[in-house]
Chain A
Amino acid sequence: MDLHLLAATPTEEERVAVDAVLGSPETAWVGGERAPVDGHVARGGREARDRRHLLLPALHALQASAGWISEGGLNYVAARLTVPPAEAYGVATFYAMFSTTPSPPRVLHVCDDIACRTQGAVQLCAELERSLGPEGHGDAWTWRRSPCLGLCERAPAALLQRSGAGAEDVAVAPLGVEHVTALVVDQDVRPSEPVGRSVPQAAEARDTLRLLRRVGIVDPSSLDDYRANGGYLALRRAVELGPEGVIRELKDSKLLGRGGAAFPTGLKWELVAKQAVRPHLFVCNADESEPGTFKDRILLEGDPFAVVEALTIAGYATASERGYVYLRGEYPAALEALARAVDAARARGFLGADVMGEGFAFDVEIRRGAGAYICGEETALFNSIEGKRGEPRNKPPFPVERGLFGKPTGINNVETLVNVLEVLRVGGPAYAGLGTADSTGTRLFCLSGDIERPGVYEVECGTRLGDLLGLAGGVHGGRELKAILLGGAAGGFVGPGDLDVPLSFEGAREAGVTLGSGVVMVFDEDADLVDAVLRIARFFRDESCGQCVPCRVGTVRQEEALHRLVSGRTIGSTADEIELLGQIALVMRDASICGLGQTAASAVQSAISRLGVFA
């Protein structure tokens, strides 16, 4: 509390937009007109504080209505939710998709991240600068450089953020410079390619697909179509098995989480299910933001009911009655598909007070991120849902004990959850027969960069890197391979000599690399790796949440040292700078509280040690 509201007032449009999310204000104390009764009674306190989680949805509404979050609009939201304006401002400024300075109603975010750079994003931006003027200028519309938008298979990519009447964001990929004027001025948005195109295996090897088997086949908007293709059989199987049976199957399957930490999924679910504190909550982490990653988007766009079904099974098995999907803010098509799927599932009784008539309750709420890489970290994600800055929490306590809203929370990413459907379809032991002994099942890989057929590929764990490249047709145009970025910006580079690395957790560990989020970004013989390394360093400097010192300072110092190396204005010798980079990497890895800081130097270090970039 201790609200020190400002005198600034919202515009009518802003008020309407916020009220559409929060409902009309009931009293003057939450932003309504003053009535005589308000002088004698007010309700608030815990009830008001419990609405804090609506802050991000309300800010989204403001951003969509005006293209930016004005002082008056922010003040109104602060009053509506009894959040101090300074704190609301702190949240608004944390997320890249929110602007707290006036911004035109149409903003074209042009990706200039590593994958798109291999496909001419730098030249594209230069061309835009020349023909349209510098980024951030303009009254009716403008353009800006953006970190990875998760459209890497169709690079170079852009996202058109539109506010005002009919506000809607649209992903545009590939973006040709010749389209830009028609796009932002006339809003001539061309329909994007069907999502099935992003799964090249579907054409010739559909029978090898498990997680992707429905993508491009089913109508993502049709529950009936989903059911005609095996949908909701897994949930039925889960109910037959009972919660403990589901967890047993998962343990038998030896499924490990695909989010990066490779935690056994069955064990995690069991830990949540056993917590005495109620309620339990379950979160689907769909904040896929690792540069070069787009597999979850393909699943969400192409087979959204699978995610809803898998989350429902998680809720059933862990005795959670409420599920959340935290969806990356830059995924408008996935949002639309998922929202439609949730509505349809609810309308048909697959969500709600009595799921499938089986006597258990479960419902799903979709929460949209707002442009913050860090929110993929699970505790930062919880804070974001709670309406706070997406800053990670110290662990322990772990989410299974105290997660979202301080309650026992299970959290899995999209790919892990969809694997659960497969486990229940074939049975835990059979699933464990796929892949290797320690890395069971199949994995999704996001192939991008200089590759012949970019897209999402599904292979059994343990498949060799070279074979995966072969599936995708090898390096684009038959050129020579220079390097592969494995695992994304938080992963590391490997060279042409590493093609026999098995793509399993233990295989990667042995080779000193990480699979991360399944990024396989290919750089051909002409690629500028120094440029890629600099872009990665810029990415981490930009995305560090700033909460803990090693990462806040380290990511800046790392980028500075790299620029000195590139410009030749080193402090001391090149070797001194490389040693300094090593020390910064050590400090960030050892002393940052979350994975962002701990991995912010991995790609840089691997480029130096494996590829000898600055040698």
Chain B
Amino acid sequence: MVGLATVFGAGGGTTSYREVEETDLILLWGSNAREAHPIFFHHVLKAVHRGARLMAVDPRRTTSAEWADLWLGLDVGADIALANTVAREIVSQGLHNTTFIEHATTGFDEYRASIEPWTLERGERVTGVPADAIRELAHAYAKADRAVLCWTLGITEHHNAVDNVLALINLALLTGHVGRYGSGLSPLRGQNNVQGGGDMGAIPNKLPGFQDIEKDLEARARFEAAWGVPIQPKRGWHLSEMFERCGSVIRALYVIGENPATSEADTTRATGLLAELDCLIVQDIFMTKTAEMADVVLPASVSAIESEGTVTNSERRVQRVRKALDPPGNARDDMWIIAQLAGRLGFDWGEVTAESAWDELRSLSPMHRGMSYGRLEELGGIQWPCPDEDHPGTLFLHGRLWLDPPEQGPLAPLSVVEWEPPVDELTDDFPIRLTTGRRLTDFNTGVQTARFSSPLRRGETIDVSPEDAASLGVSEGERVRVTSRRGSVEVPVHVDPGLRPGLTFMTLHFPDEAQTNLLTVDAWDPKSGTSEFKATAVRIERLEQPVEA
């Protein structure tokens, strides 16, 4: 989000699902969409069955990678090295789109100089991926008529997440794979409404509609006029920054629909910080681990079925959500709760409905202006930007970059990004790389999925390569102790041939079985606030064998 917003001014996927189906090359980078975004993967499969090529960059050979024409199994955290090597190969072979670069981008010379050291040989040395495979990827991406580059948490859950994203955006800018039908950048979203959250201003430096709180004075004035209060001229804090300040500057925390006691990296530290607060308020539909620590719990409604509103998906399509059931017992609609809270704090908002709140947003956010509830209903959702009620919505973003001259907005900068290895170093004491992710059966910490049974679910395991299983002398299902610099968990072993020696994998789906985030490092990206869940150094030990009775 931050990366896209930095380069293009708007933090949204540039393409539509339909374009993914009709593109020529799909590059999944740090995304196991087959399991983590199964619905999106159906669009990918349509393209594949139509004849599009699929390439996957992932440390693990995931089920998505199994579908790919080419899988590049880079070392965890080597994404920038790989992207820069791909870029250098493209440029050195003259495969970059000089017309687009000259027309729509800035900083090419500097960028070119910065990637110069990234020869195929160096790329192979740093990433582990054979040079010929890197070359193949570079040539395929650069030569494709249409190409969509998708990424997700494999890119963003690193201490240098924004740099990772910038490195990928560079590739699209180099080759002109953005702003055209079937060519674009598509960050896949972990929830049905992550995009909507960002759109609504749940980003430290943005007002609703991605209007910058520090730079866009006009927008700030518009909000101040509408709300009758001054808007702070400085950006706020993101989650990781808030946690840094919990118990010191921050004395009270109001948590809505989030379970940081389980989902934050380095759980021990996170729960310790939460405990230091004077007041913890949790508004949720479940009694989560965080809620158990709270001073006040506000039972909320299930947004998907118990309230009216909208969600925005990864292709920027705003869609209506309709209420089907009344919330049970004393549970209340989120909006009602917030309005009541405002009332108690001295602000009478009157009767707030989902539509009245939405119409206020439309009056303040130009990109949402044309999306009345009536039109959302009629058109089956609209993709932003949609500036007026005659506008059909926008299939893909940044087409302006191809116009002559590029209209409405700055050129897209190529960014110089330097590779840095993961923070949590591998040493003799912690020789094994643990990375984390999702499985098809489960979602995040299991709050939404643990109550459903699934024949595919196998509970928490540490997945290891056949070679590591052999050298550790452990077999499928055997419990082992996994220890990082921060903590230790016991968990059964699952042997996965998709892993190579030295690479292991866990999920965070089963906190009751294994608190994976006791192990992870809380190093986070200063720009996005995302923690480096993807790269932890661990060691694995056999538990003492039980003595035969």
Interface pair A41/B501, CB less than 8 Å apart: no
- Tell yes or no: A568 within 8 A of B by CB: no
Q: How far is the CA of A129 from the CA of B503 in the complex (A)?
A: 60
- Tell yes or no: B72 within 8 A of A by CB: yes
B61 contacts which of A2, A36, A42, A47 (Cβ < 8 Å)? Answer: A42
A44 contacts which of B66, B73, B497, B501 (Cβ < 8 Å)? Answer: B66
Interface pair A37/B68, CB less than 8 Å apart: no
Do A2 and B70 contact each other (CB < 8 Å), given the known contacts A34-B467, A40-B130, A41-B133? Answer: no
- Taking CB atoms and an 8 Å cut-off, the chain B residues in 447-473 that contact chain A are 465-467
Q: In the assembled complex, how far is the CB of residue A483 from the closest CB belonging to chain B, in whole angstroms?
A: 51
Q: How far is the CA of A82 from the CA of B65 in the complex (A)?
A: 13
* CB-based nearest A residue for B74: A40
Q: How far is the CA of A480 from the CA of B514 in the complex (A)?
A: 86
Chain B residues whose C-beta falls within 8 Å of the C-beta of A89 in the assembled complex: none
Q: In the assembled complex, how far is the CB of residue B369 from the closest CB belonging to chain A, in whole angstroms?
A: 43
* CB-based nearest B residue for A38: B500
Contact size class for A? 10 to 19
- Tell yes or no: B71 within 8 A of A by CB: yes
- Taking CB atoms and an 8 Å cut-off, the chain A residues in 34-52 that contact chain B are 34, 36-47
- Tell yes or no: B90 within 8 A of A by CB: no
- Tell yes or no: A233 within 8 A of B by CB: no
- Tell yes or no: B128 within 8 A of A by CB: yes
Q: How far is the CA of A1 from the CA of B466 in the complex (A)?
A: 21
* CB-based nearest A residue for B503: A39
Interface pair B53/A46, CB less than 8 Å apart: yes
* CB-based nearest B residue for A40: B73
Q: How far is the CA of A39 from the CA of B496 in the complex (A)?
A: 12
Do A41 and B129 contact each other (CB < 8 Å), given the known contacts A1-B66, A29-B61, A47-B69? Answer: yes
Q: In the assembled complex, how far is the CB of residue A347 from the closest CB belonging to chain B, in whole angstroms?
A: 36
Chain A residues whose C-beta falls within 8 Å of the C-beta of B503 in the assembled complex: 39
Chain B residues whose C-beta falls within 8 Å of the C-beta of A34 in the assembled complex: 466-467, 497
Interface pair A42/B129, CB less than 8 Å apart: no
- Tell yes or no: B63 within 8 A of A by CB: yes
* CB-based nearest A residue for B51: A46
- Taking CB atoms and an 8 Å cut-off, the chain B residues in 251-290 that contact chain A are none
Q: How far is the CA of A606 from the CA of B129 in the complex (A)?
A: 69
Chain A residues whose C-beta falls within 8 Å of the C-beta of B40 in the assembled complex: none
Chain A residues whose C-beta falls within 8 Å of the C-beta of B65 in the assembled complex: 42
Chain A residues whose C-beta falls within 8 Å of the C-beta of B73 in the assembled complex: 39-42
Chain B residues whose C-beta falls within 8 Å of the C-beta of A44 in the assembled complex: 66-69, 71
- Taking CB atoms and an 8 Å cut-off, the chain B residues in 193-238 that contact chain A are none
Chain B residues whose C-beta falls within 8 Å of the C-beta of A40 in the assembled complex: 72-74, 128-130, 133, 500
Q: How far is the CA of A314 from the CA of B359 in the complex (A)?
A: 69
- Tell yes or no: B86 within 8 A of A by CB: no
Interface pair B500/A45, CB less than 8 Å apart: no
- Tell yes or no: B54 within 8 A of A by CB: yes
- Tell yes or no: A3 within 8 A of B by CB: yes
A43 contacts which of B63, B70, B129 (Cβ < 8 Å)? Answer: B70
Do A45 and B501 contact each other (CB < 8 Å), given the known contacts A2-B63, A40-B128? Answer: no
Compute the total of residue contacts between A and B using a CB distance below 8 Å.
65
- Tell yes or no: B48 within 8 A of A by CB: yes
- Taking CB atoms and an 8 Å cut-off, the chain B residues in 57-107 that contact chain A are 61, 63, 65-74
Q: In the assembled complex, how far is the CB of residue A31 from the closest CB belonging to chain B, in whole angstroms?
A: 12
Interface pair B69/A41, CB less than 8 Å apart: no
Per-residue A-contact encoding for B383-414, CB less than 8 Å = 1, 0 else: 00000000000000000000000000000000
Per-residue B-contact encoding for A83-111, CB less than 8 Å = 1, 0 else: 00000000000000000000000000000
Q: In the assembled complex, how far is the CB of residue A9 from the closest CB belonging to chain B, in whole angstroms?
A: 13
B130 contacts which of A28, A37, A45, A46 (Cβ < 8 Å)? Answer: A37
- Taking CB atoms and an 8 Å cut-off, the chain B residues in 474-533 that contact chain A are 497, 499-501, 503
Interface pair B54/A45, CB less than 8 Å apart: yes
Q: How far is the CA of A2 from the CA of B71 in the complex (A)?
A: 15
Interface pair A45/B129, CB less than 8 Å apart: no
Q: How far is the CA of A44 from the CA of B62 in the complex (A)?
A: 13
Q: Which of A3, A44, A47 has the most CB of B within 10 A?
A: A44
* CB-based nearest A residue for B495: A7
Q: In the assembled complex, how far is the CB of residue B482 from the closest CB belonging to chain A, in whole angstroms?
A: 20
Q: How far is the CA of A40 from the CA of B133 in the complex (A)?
A: 9
A46 contacts which of B69, B74, B497 (Cβ < 8 Å)? Answer: B69
Q: Which of A28, A34, A42, A43 has the most CB of B within 10 A?
A: A42
Interface pair A82/B66, CB less than 8 Å apart: yes
Q: How far is the CA of A58 from the CA of B71 in the complex (A)?
A: 26
* CB-based nearest B residue for A82: B66
Q: How far is the CA of A28 from the CA of B73 in the complex (A)?
A: 14
Chain B residues whose C-beta falls within 8 Å of the C-beta of A3 in the assembled complex: 66
Per-residue B-contact encoding for A158-183, CB less than 8 Å = 1, 0 else: 00000000000000000000000000
Q: In the assembled complex, how far is the CB of residue A65 from the closest CB belonging to chain B, in whole angstroms?
A: 25
Q: How far is the CA of A41 from the CA of B51 in the complex (A)?
A: 22
Q: How far is the CA of A434 from the CA of B466 in the complex (A)?
A: 72
Q: In the assembled complex, how far is the CB of residue B426 from the closest CB belonging to chain A, in whole angstroms?
A: 16
Q: Which of B54, B465, B497 has the most CB of A within 10 A?
A: B497
Q: How far is the CA of A44 from the CA of B71 in the complex (A)?
A: 8
Q: How far is the CA of A82 from the CA of B34 in the complex (A)?
A: 17
Q: How far is the CA of A82 from the CA of B66 in the complex (A)?
A: 9
Chain B residues whose C-beta falls within 8 Å of the C-beta of A45 in the assembled complex: 48, 53-54, 67-70
Chain B residues whose C-beta falls within 8 Å of the C-beta of A82 in the assembled complex: 66
Q: How far is the CA of A45 from the CA of B500 in the complex (A)?
A: 20
Chain B residues whose C-beta falls within 8 Å of the C-beta of A46 in the assembled complex: 48, 51, 53, 69
Per-residue B-contact encoding for A207-237, CB less than 8 Å = 1, 0 else: 0000000000000000000000000000000
Q: How far is the CA of A31 from the CA of B250 in the complex (A)?
A: 57
Chain B residues whose C-beta falls within 8 Å of the C-beta of A2 in the assembled complex: 34, 63, 66
Per-residue A-contact encoding for B22-38, CB less than 8 Å = 1, 0 else: 00000000000010000
Per-residue B-contact encoding for A390-401, CB less than 8 Å = 1, 0 else: 000000000000
Chain A residues whose C-beta falls within 8 Å of the C-beta of B501 in the assembled complex: 36, 39
Interface pair B53/A41, CB less than 8 Å apart: no
Chain B residues whose C-beta falls within 8 Å of the C-beta of A41 in the assembled complex: 70-73, 129-130, 133
* CB-based nearest B residue for A39: B500
Q: In the assembled complex, how far is the CB of residue B60 from the closest CB belonging to chain A, in whole angstroms?
A: 10
Q: In the assembled complex, how far is the CB of residue A38 from the closest CB belonging to chain B, in whole angstroms?
A: 8
Q: How far is the CA of A436 from the CA of B466 in the complex (A)?
A: 72
Chain A residues whose C-beta falls within 8 Å of the C-beta of B51 in the assembled complex: 46
Q: Which of A36, A39, A42, A45 has the most CB of B within 10 A?
A: A39
Interface pair A1/B467, CB less than 8 Å apart: no
Q: How far is the CA of A34 from the CA of B503 in the complex (A)?
A: 15
Chain A residues whose C-beta falls within 8 Å of the C-beta of B130 in the assembled complex: 37, 40-41
- Taking CB atoms and an 8 Å cut-off, the chain B residues in 102-143 that contact chain A are 128-130, 133
Q: In the assembled complex, how far is the CB of residue A412 from the closest CB belonging to chain B, in whole angstroms?
A: 29
Q: Which of A2, A41, A44 has the most CB of B within 10 A?
A: A41
Q: How far is the CA of A42 from the CA of B133 in the complex (A)?
A: 9
Q: In the assembled complex, how far is the CB of residue B354 from the closest CB belonging to chain A, in whole angstroms?
A: 40
Interface pair A43/B74, CB less than 8 Å apart: no
Q: In the assembled complex, how far is the CB of residue A598 from the closest CB belonging to chain B, in whole angstroms?
A: 31
Q: How far is the CA of A29 from the CA of B61 in the complex (A)?
A: 10
Q: In the assembled complex, how far is the CB of residue B495 from the closest CB belonging to chain A, in whole angstroms?
A: 10
* CB-based nearest B residue for A48: B69
29 A-B pairs with C-beta separation under 8 A: A1-B63, A1-B66, A2-B63, A2-B66, A29-B61, A34-B466, A34-B497, A39-B128, A39-B499, A39-B500, A39-B501, A39-B503, A40-B73, A40-B129, A40-B133, A41-B72, A41-B73, A41-B129, A41-B130, A42-B70, A42-B71, A43-B70, A44-B69, A44-B71, A45-B48, A45-B53, A46-B48, A46-B51, A46-B53
Can you add 4 more A-B contacts, CB < 8 Å, to A2-B63, A2-B66, A47-B69?
Answer: A39-B503, A40-B72, A42-B71, A43-B69
Q: What are the 9 closest A-B residue pairs judged by CB atoms, nearest first?
A: A39-B500, A45-B69, A1-B66, A40-B73, A42-B71, A41-B133, A1-B67, A40-B128, A40-B129
